[in-house]
Amino acid sequence: MPRYLYQCENSKERFDRITRIIDHQSIVTCACGATARQVITAPRVIIPAHMSATGQSSYQSPIDGRLISTQQQRREDMARNDCVEYEPGMRQDVDRRVAADELALYRAVDETFDREIAKMPTVKRELLETEMTAGMSAEAIRI
């Protein structure tokens, strides 16, 4: 059964309760008899120390299919396949890199657009400006 974290409304003391999932939202009281509120809405599950970080006692390497059953084998498998442990900040780092790459792409498109407009003959550039001020719109489409 999962453990849930509660906090006493009076003393602010925190404590765990092991509760069935269907009963986790029932009213809980602490040792002093006051009502306690749940601090974490998702259950915390305790994984035995002998189990791997994946929550399984053994698994097959997704890259080469070897059976992995110890932490040492996991470390060796990750090193052999040039992998790293997932850390909480990795997703935010990827999102930041993607945003920076998109910004660089938009800047490059803008620079290319400005450069191409500057290459146009004056008459063509004036015609384009007239059409744009008259309400024509242009949309950049990524192909």
Residue 118 reports pLDDT greater than 80? yes
Phi-psi region of 56 (alpha: psi -120 to 50; beta: other; left: phi over 0): beta
Model pTM score: 0.37
Query: Rounded to an integer, what distance in angstroms lies between the CA atom of residue 78 and that of residue 27?
Result: 45
**pLDDT (tens digit per residue) in 8-59:** 888 888 877 777 767 666 778 888 888 888 776 444 444 455 454 545 568 8
